Every structure is written in structure tokens, then in C-alpha cells.
Amino acid sequence: MLSQPNCFEDIIVSENIGIVNTVSVERVKVDKEPKALELKGVLPKLQVRHISKAFQSNNGGVCVLEDINLEVGEGEFVCIVGPSGCGKTTLLNIVAGLEKADSGDVWVNGSKINGAGTDRVVIFQEAALFPWLNVVKNVEFGLKLKGISSSKRRNTAIEYLKMVHLTKFQNAHVHELSGGMKQRVAIARALAMNPEMLLMDEPFSSLDAQTRWILHYELQNIWMKTKKTILFVTHNIRESVCLADRIIILSTSPGKIKKEFHIDLPRPRDDNDVNVADYSTRIMRELKAEINKVVKCEMDADSCIECDIKCTTEGSEKTDIGGGI
């Protein structure tokens, strides 16, 4: 039988509950704020300045991120893509305050952040809902920790369950939900906290293709309604084109910003749209060299395997991993 945690700390130390702690967080003001570059005439919500990060291994230090500079505007939807091991999740964790950079800093609304805070809520690959609570109480959970009254938090929870089309499941328990439904509850729980930013780390990667398509459509509609600032990490190129205003490509080991793509397509976008396929092909071409670096690093020296991009007449991309066959 599942039991509730014995203390509040048991809950807040879990990274992937979608609620980044309720502990008061120091936000450091300085006399001279960083110069803000305008994005489409909007003051940046997020500024990442000269972020570098290395991890120790048996072979010495491994530089994961090197001198990352990034700005995200108010209400902008930005996706970060790149090959495995390029530091996408590490960068997201640094923005969330879950990891510390070796150098550089992160600013939100002109204030330097120094740790996690409820202004940045994280949604991870696994929804990590509390199995001893029903759906509506899962959505209410963070509001309860903030001391919101019972009636107000119930109204807020129902509002966001309506947004993700789950009101008829408000009294259901977690084990009764599909994977896609669990992620929709996690999104409702995050939105109920009314954060400045949503940080999403491959939230749909474990779902089947049909469920992903549904959630792509739903997330686009949620973004159009709320205009929340979203930083979204994914391996899926077409997913990034469907969702983002702007796509940041990271190079591999160490992760650096290689190129940006601005996606000028009307919403909501369809995964199978020919224009989405065209953007996906162009982005995949940029990633080809980086993917081949990973392949060569992980394969024996005599391997002739490499990534090849083949474009069909319909404009969609096909990625082949193979050699001489």
C-alpha cells in the first residue's frame, strides 16, 4: 500500500513533481542589470549569460556546456534541440535552479536567480503525480502549499482541468489514467501555480505517436490562451517545429549554440503539414554533422556508420543510420 511522505521535505526534493519548491528563494538584485536585447520589441523574460558547465568522469572533466548566451522574450515559445549528450537537460536544470553552472548566470525579469523558485515550474518526461491523491487534488497540491484557501484552489484547479479537457476525470485516481492524461494533469498542475515560465523537459517522449499528436495540438492551444513563456527541450525535430516560435540548435560536446531557426507558421500547426516537414528537413540538415560526431564517438574506429538525410518528394525528412548497405 502506498503511503504519504512523512514530511514536506520528502516532497520538495523530488525534481520531477512539476512543482519547483515553495521554499523562499533568494533573488539577487544588482545595481547594474544586464543590458537587455529586444526580441520582437519585447523585453526578455529570461536571460542566460555565459553559462558553462563541466562534469567529472573517470577520464577527467567533461565540458557539457560552453559559454551559452540565450534570451527568451515574454510569451515566447522556444525549443532547444540537439544530439544526445549536448547538454539540453543540463541547461534546462540550470535555468530551473536545480543545478549550478560553473560560470555565468541566469536572469528572470531582470533579477539574477540563485536557486529554484516557484516562478519557474518544471514538467519532466514522467508526470510524477501523487498516487494517493485524485486528479483535482493533484492539481491543487501546490496551491495548498502556498496557503490558498480550499474554495479558491478548487476553483483554480477546475479552471485548468477544463483547459486540458479533464474535468470529467477530476475525481479519478492516477492509476486510472493513460500516459497522455497524466501529462495533461501535470500541465494543469503547473499552470495552476501561475509561474513566470514553464520549463518542459521532453514531456511527451515516452508517449505513443497518436497521443503526442493530440498533446502537441493541446499545448499549442494552451499557449495561445495563456501566452506563458515556455522553454521546451526535445529530441524530436518535428515536435519542435510544431510548437516553437524559435528553435535553438546545440552542438555536441561541448554544447554551444550552433544556430537558431525562427518558425513563421500559423498556429495551430499539424505534424503532417508540408511546411512543418520542410522546416524539419532544414533543421535536420544542420544537425547532421553533430549527430555524426556522436556516432563516431560511440562507435568503433573502423565503423562506417553515419547519419544521412534523404528528402522525399513530399518534402519530409528521413534519417538513416547505416553505412554501405
pLDDT in tens, 169-218: 999 999 999 999 999 999 999 999 999 999 999 999 889 989 999 999 99
Given CA atoms 141, 146, 152, 157 in this order, what sign does their dihedral have? Answer: negative
pLDDT tens by residue, 245-272 = 999 999 887 889 999 999 999 999 998 8
Strands 306-311, 317-322: pairing is antiparallel
Is residue 135 in some structural domain? yes
Is residue 211 in some structural domain? yes
pLDDT for 303: 53
> Where does the pLDDT of residue 62 fall: very low under 50, low under 70, confident under 90, or very high at 90 and above?
confident
Is residue 125 in some structural domain? yes
User: Whole-angstrom Cα distance, residue 255 to residue 63?
Assistant: 8
The whole-model pTM stands at 0.79
Is residue 139 in some structural domain? yes
Task: Please name the amino acid found at residue 237.
Answer: I
pLDDT for 296: 62
Tell which wins on pLDDT, 83 or 169: 169
Is residue 3 in some structural domain? no
Total of domains in the chain? 1
Does the pLDDT value for residue 228 go beyond 60?
A: yes
> Where does the pLDDT of residue 290 fall: very low under 50, low under 70, confident under 90, or very high at 90 and above?
confident
User: Which structural domain range is residue 236 located in?
Assistant: 8-322
Is residue 2 in some structural domain? no
**Three-state DSSP state, 203:** coil
Angle, alpha carbons 100-103-104 (nearest 5°): 95
| DSSP sequence for 73-118 | ETT-EEEEE-STTSSHHHHHHHHHTSS--SEEEEEETTEEE-S--T
Is residue 142 in some structural domain? yes
Is residue 194 in some structural domain? yes
Check which CATH number belongs to the domain holding 202 and give it.
3.40.50.300
pLDDT tens by residue, 120-134 = 999 998 888 999 999
